[in-house]
Amino acid sequence: MIANVRPRELPSPLTLARPEILELEPYSHASWEPQLERLHANELPWRSALDATRAGLNRYPEPQPRALVEALAALYGVAPAELLVGRGSDEAIDLLTRAFCRAGEDSVLLSPPTFGMYAVAARIQGAGVVRVPLLDAERGFALDMPQVLARCSSDVKLVYVCSPNNPTGNRVDAHTLLALTDALAGRALLIVDEAYIEFSGAPSLAGEVARQPYLVVLRTLSKAHGLAGARCGALIAAPEIVSLLRKIIPPYAMTQPTIECVLKALEPGELAAAAERVGNIRAERARLAERLASLPSVARVFPSDANFLLVELHDASRAFARARAAGLLVRDVRAQPGLGRHLRITVGTTEQNTRLIAALAAEGPP
Ligand code: PMP
The 10s digit of each residue's pLDDT in 301-336 is 999 999 999 999 999 999 999 999 999 999 999 999
- Alpha-carbon distance of 258 to 261, in angstroms, equals 5
What separation in Å is there between the alpha carbon of 17 and the centre of ligand 1?
Answer: 24
What separation in Å is there between the alpha carbon of 90 and the centre of ligand 1?
Answer: 6
- Alpha-carbon distance of 117 to 122, in angstroms, equals 8
| pLDDT at residue 363 is higher than 80 | no
What is the pLDDT confidence band of residue 151, given thresholds at 50, 70 and 90? very high
Residue 195 CB–ligand 1 contact under 6 Å? yes
Residue 222 CB–ligand 1 contact under 6 Å? yes
What separation in Å is there between the alpha carbon of 41 and the centre of ligand 1?
Answer: 33
pLDDT score for 3: 45
| pLDDT at residue 364 is higher than 90 | no
Using a 10 angstrom Cβ sphere, with 0-12 exposed, 13-18 middle and 19 or more buried, the burial of residue 130 is middle
Instruction: Read off φ and ψ for residue 248, nearest 5 degrees.
Output: -110, -5
What's the whole-number mean pLDDT along residues 86-103?
98
Residue 220 CB–ligand 1 contact under 6 Å? yes
pLDDT score for 31: 84
Q: Which residues contact 258 (CB under 8 A, 6 or more apart)?
A: 230, 231, 232
34 vs 249: which has the higher pLDDT: 249
Amino acid making up residue 274: A
Distances (CA, A) of 37 to 41, 59, 130: 11, 11, 52
What is the pLDDT confidence band of residue 139, given thresholds at 50, 70 and 90? very high
How many other CB atoms are there within 10 angstroms of residue 81's CB atom? 13
Quick: pLDDT tens for 156-209.
Answer: 999 999 999 999 999 999 999 999 999 999 999 999 999 999 999 999 999 999
pLDDT score for 365: 58
What's the whole-number mean pLDDT along residues 9-30?
93
Using a 10 angstrom Cβ sphere, with 0-12 exposed, 13-18 middle and 19 or more buried, the burial of residue 148 is buried
pLDDT score for 1: 39
- Cβ atoms of 184 and 190 within 8 Å: the answer is yes
Residue 305 CB–ligand 1 contact under 6 Å? no
- Cβ atoms of 87 and 233 within 8 Å: the answer is yes
The reported pTM is: 0.96
Half-sphere exposure at residue 47, Cβ-oriented, CA atoms within 13 angstroms: 9
What separation in Å is there between the alpha carbon of 32 and the centre of ligand 1?
Answer: 31
- Cβ atoms of 221 and 243 within 8 Å: the answer is no
Mean pLDDT of the chain: 95
What's the whole-number mean pLDDT along residues 89-102?
98
Residue 162 CB–ligand 1 contact under 6 Å? yes
pLDDT score for 4: 47
What's the whole-number mean pLDDT along residues 113-141?
97
pLDDT score for 281: 98
What is the pLDDT confidence band of residue 286, given thresholds at 50, 70 and 90? very high
Distances (CA, A) of 298 to 189, 320, 357: 39, 12, 11
- Alpha-carbon distance of 145 to 153, in angstroms, equals 14
**Among 24-38, 158-172, 274-288, which is the least confidently predicted range?**
24-38
**In angstroms, how far is the first alpha carbon of the chain from the final one?**
72
Residue 88 CB–ligand 1 contact under 6 Å? yes
What separation in Å is there between the alpha carbon of 221 and the centre of ligand 1?
Answer: 9
What separation in Å is there between the alpha carbon of 23 and the centre of ligand 1?
Answer: 30
pLDDT score for 290: 98
- Alpha-carbon distance of 341 to 312, in angstroms, equals 5
What's the whole-number mean pLDDT along residues 338-359?
98
**Which of ligand 1's atoms lies nearest the C-alpha of 93?**
10
What is the pLDDT confidence band of residue 2, given thresholds at 50, 70 and 90? very low
| pLDDT at residue 40 is higher than 50 | yes
